[in-house]
Structure 1
Amino acid sequence: GEDVSLGVVGDQLMESFLSIIDELTAQIEELESLIEETAASLEETQLLMTIPGVSFYSSLLITSEIGEIDRFDEAKQVVSYAGLDPVVRESGDSRTEGSISKRGSGDLRWILVQCVQTAVHRCNDPYLGRFYARLKQRKNHQIAIVATARKLLVSIFHMLEREEVYDPPEVSA
């Protein structure tokens, strides 16, 4: 076969690129350690990490997006803040609930959906998994996942408000 040589300049460029990649990899590992240490040192993130599917990264993002839980009086306020509340259309005597409002934090909605996907599909959480499976029989996957994310957020609200670890109600077979 043909000898594909990059020459002296090409070899130096390759070494330079590999050196940069090694440096960036080391910086990423350092930052990940710092994030993990930060999550482990905060009470709120420790509580959230007791939920199947919620990692140190997820718990930090959720707590930073929600902020102080005391600013919400009830669960439906934090649900609305996340934009997971349904859009209600009323006309005369008719009232219909449509899609979610998406008025709130897109990052919070996104991370909750990621956590639910993990809890339901990888961690086999019985509480969230059963809720998702029941909804999926009647609705499509996306509707079921978003509704389960809303349910997770309500659980998170109560956990942070009461300073309790994840302890879902017993799930009967």
Structure 2
Amino acid sequence: MPLTTVGVDIAKNVIQLHYIDAETGEIINKPIKRAVFLEQFANRAPCLIGMEACGGSQHWARKLMAMGHEVKLMPAKFVKAFVMGNKNDAADARAIWMAVQQPGKSVAVKTETQQAVLALHRMRQQLVKFRTMQINSLRGLLTEYGEVMAKGRAALDKAVPGVLERLVDRLPAILIDTLREQWTGLTAIDKQIVVIERRLQAWMKEDEACRAIAAIPGVGLLTATAAVATMGNAKAFKSGREFASWLGLVPAQTGSGGKIQLLGISRRGDIYLRTLLIHGARSVLFLTKDPGPWLEQMRKRRPLNVTVVAQANKMARTIWAILAHEKQYNKKHVSVKPG
């Protein structure tokens, strides 16, 4: 028997359902309260449930899968194409119901441990952004009083004590004290970032998959832990190329009348992981003593950024191969197509 397809539009308090009753053929599109959402699926035969990949979707997906249902999480951009007429909860649920029946790569449903690792990454990323914002704010405020400093944290730490000493007689004490507090507060942010990195390091030591892909040149602590947590089950991807395409490390295409034009990278998938891979590829290109003949030839033939993205694509395909086939990294491995 084919699975009953259900479209679910998630919200904070009210969740909209859209499906066709298998016995009566009636189209059901109704809102239900969050507290009784799981009760709707408790005693039902296995269903194919489609949801947008948004806040809370991972939690509901795990709960529904534990009840025996099949869940497909889809990017909001994919669902948007099926919204017809005015946008409301009922129209969104109908669009999700239509979209889940179309072929397309779904977002991986992550375990609670994998999602916890990604939460650490997000908090670290937020702290790094706030630290950068704080540094730029201090440099901008001091520029208003004629004190121009070089870029970077090291230049700021070196210049601030002398700058504040010169300004102490010109500016009110309330401003000088506040500037000093903002500067010393950067050290507290540094400590928080270090603590998060230590926790990621501890998880990496316990996880065999993270240790395996960390042997790839350009893949460090952040990339290894983020890749394993973001990918979910590596075997959900048919090949390394599909994984690289899912990350947006392939050219976007446009064309008409049989004429196809390749553009820059498509920028699909997870922005954070793609950024880490590109930074790692850049380190391989500039810091590795022996990057390999393929990368050297690519660097001679193609522009710098194209070479970096090509190396990031190769790293993504290597990560998939190691995780999908459960093998160790071998620099001399040669991929051979099956006969």
Q: Please report the TM-score for the alignment, with normalisation by the length of structure 2.
A: 0.43
RCO higher in structure (CA 8 A, sep ≥6): 1
- Give the partner amino acid of 1:74: S
Contact 1:85-1:100 within 8 A present in 2 as well: yes
Q: 2:327 aligns with which of 157, 164, 170?
A: 164
User: 1:132 is matched with which residue?
Assistant: 295
Is there any run of 5+ residues in structure 2 with no aligned partner, and where?
1-165, 335-339
Q: Does 1:51 align with 2:219?
A: no
The answer to which of 96-105 and 150-159 deviates more is: 96-105
The answer to which of 35-44 and 4-13 deviates more is: 4-13
Cα deviation for residue 87 of structure 1 reads 3.0
Percent same amino acid at aligned positions?
22
Contact 1:62-1:111 within 8 A present in 2 as well: no
Contact 1:87-1:101 within 8 A present in 2 as well: yes
Residues 7, 122 of structure 1: alpha-carbon distance in 2 compared, 3 angstrom cutoff: same
Residues 29, 75 of structure 1: alpha-carbon distance in 2 compared, 3 angstrom cutoff: closer
Q: Does 1:115 align with 2:280?
A: yes
Provide, for residues 66-116 of structure 1, a one-character-per-residue CA deviation record: whole Å limited to 9, x for no partner. Answer: 222121121221011111223344643x55544322222222221111111
User: 2:317 is matched with which residue?
Assistant: 154
The answer to which of 60-69 and 7-16 deviates more is: 7-16
Cα deviation for residue 8 of structure 1 reads 8.0
Residues 110, 29 of structure 1: alpha-carbon distance in 2 compared, 3 angstrom cutoff: closer
Contact 2:246-2:268 within 8 A present in 1 as well: yes
Contact 2:250-2:266 within 8 A present in 1 as well: yes
- Give the partner amino acid of 1:161: A
Cα deviation for residue 170 of structure 1 reads 6.5
Partners of 1:59 and 1:3 in 2: CA distance: 46
Partners of 1:44 and 1:169 in 2: CA distance: 20
Contact 2:216-2:315 within 8 A present in 1 as well: no
More strand as a share of residues: 2
- Give the partner amino acid of 1:165: Q
Q: CA RMSD in A?
A: 3.0
Partners of 1:83 and 1:62 in 2: CA distance: 14
Partners of 1:76 and 1:85 in 2: CA distance: 9
Contact 2:244-2:316 within 8 A present in 1 as well: yes
Partners of 2:173 and 2:228 in 1: CA distance: 51
More helix as a share of residues: 1
Residues 50, 11 of structure 1: alpha-carbon distance in 2 compared, 3 angstrom cutoff: same
